[in-house]
Amino acid sequence: MVLREKQMGLLDIEGVTMAFDGAPPKRVVSLVPSMTESLFDLGVGDRVVGVTDACKPPEEEQLRLQRVGGTKKPKLEAVRILRPDLVIANQEENSEDTIRALSESGLTLWLTFPKSTKDALDLLWTIIKVFKVGDQTPRVETLARTLDWTEKATTGRLSIPTFVPIWQGEKEGLGPWLMTFNYQTYPNDVLSKVGGMNVFAGRDRRYPLEADLGSAEPEDPGDRDTRYPRVTIEEVIKAQPEVILLPDEPYAFEESHKSQIEEWLADTPAVQAGRVHLIDGSLLTWHGTRLAKAVSELPSYLRA
């Protein structure tokens, strides 16, 4: 999805800061689960009036908040009825049609799209500035230092070759495939910061699917997203990952999938050493304050 912020009147980090130079937002609808969590963690959850079905606000806030549907197709009228002075969206998690419709309806829309841990920290600093909660500065400073310490602790060590599938499927005649991510994504940066080396960091997605799986010539991708390649079982075996992480989102990998993948990838060091792990997917995919939990928990899966 390609959206031109200036053409559509959407706000980037600088824009949302400038839009609320005066009074901070009082009524916020968050269409991004990780941002919903961050707003509550940074003490401005009382400004949130609407969230998606995938958001996980504190239990005591459940009855107060209006649910506006799923992230891909929220109920646009439900959002409008709440009269928000700020809607927080994400270029990956929310559909282009949703973002366009909300923007064209005259709502102030903050379109987030973090591709690195630095971007994620910038979003937290923007929340502090826009909502004028300077007392939360030490919390974000601590997170930034922790991330820095974690990265420095891995400097000089060999990064662990790691494979992280985020979806799976099967193509008739070509067998099963596993989708993963490359170097241009937020999960890749998180993984690198905690000592992992994404074995498919340099692999672009090719179109059509047959080309991605090596049985056809690739087309010019144009504006299509090339950050999430679909790889064959043979490609993964050739990459020889030492660790395989199976997140429970966006695809809900569970024990049955783990057993199947261990069978498919029996010739990899990860399977042979028993280093295939089911993990909380939000550690890799949720930006914002969830990053603190990621740098705390992910290294344990990478250590032998």
Place of tokens 């400004």: 47
Sorted by where each starts, the structural domains of the chain and their CATH numbers stand as 5-113 (3.40.50.1980), 154-302 (3.40.50.1980)
Q: How confident is the model at residue 219 (pLDDT cuts 50, 70, 90)?
A: very high
When pLDDT is averaged across residues 162-170 and rounded to a whole number, the result is: 98
What is the reported pLDDT for 10?
83
Residue pLDDT, tens place only, 79-118: 999 999 999 999 999 999 999 999 898 899 999 999 999 9
Place of tokens 């559509």: 8
Rg (CA), the chain: 20
Confidence check: pLDDT of 18 > 70 = yes
Residue pLDDT, tens place only, 245-290: 999 999 999 999 999 999 999 999 999 999 999 999 999 999 999 9
What is the reported pLDDT for 22?
80
What is the reported pLDDT for 192?
95
Residue pLDDT, tens place only, 52-82: 999 999 999 999 999 999 999 999 999 999 9
CA 284 to chain centre: 7
Confidence check: pLDDT of 15 > 90 = no
What angle is formed at CA 239 by the lines to CA 233 and CA 245, rounded to 5 degrees? 75
Decide if 99 contacts 264 (C-beta within 8 A).
Answer: no
When pLDDT is averaged across residues 32-54 and rounded to a whole number, the result is: 98
Confidence check: pLDDT of 1 > 90 = no
Confidence check: pLDDT of 211 > 80 = yes
Residue 292: closest CA among 138, 171, 65: 138
Residue 74 carries which DSSP code?
Answer: B
Burial class (CB in 10 A: 0-12, 13-18, 19+), 262: middle
Residue 113: closest CA among 132, 104, 126, 102: 126
What is the reported pLDDT for 8?
55
Confidence check: pLDDT of 136 > 60 = yes
Confidence check: pLDDT of 149 > 50 = yes
What is the reported pLDDT for 2?
47
What is the reported pLDDT for 9?
62
What is the reported pLDDT for 124?
97
What is the reported pLDDT for 75?
96
Mean of the per-residue pLDDT values of the chain: 94
What is the reported pLDDT for 275?
98
What is the reported pLDDT for 7?
46
Q: For residue 47, what are the contacts with CB-CB under 8 A and spacing of at least 6? A: 24, 25, 26, 27, 28, 39, 131
What angle is formed at CA 56 by the lines to CA 100 and CA 195, rounded to 5 degrees? 90
Residue 194: closest CA among 233, 248, 153, 140: 153
Q: For residue 202, what are the contacts with CB-CB under 8 A and spacing of at least 6? A: 182, 183
What is the reported pLDDT for 91?
93
pTM comes to 0.92
What is the reported pLDDT for 20?
87
**Beta-carbon neighbour count of residue 43 at 10 Å?**
15
Residue 287: closest CA among 103, 138, 93: 93
Burial class (CB in 10 A: 0-12, 13-18, 19+), 218: middle
Beta strand residue intervals within the chain, DSSP E: 28-30, 48-51, 66-67, 86-90, 109-112, 160-163, 167-171, 175-179, 196-198, 230-232, 243-247, 276-279
Residue 262: closest CA among 280, 277, 281: 277
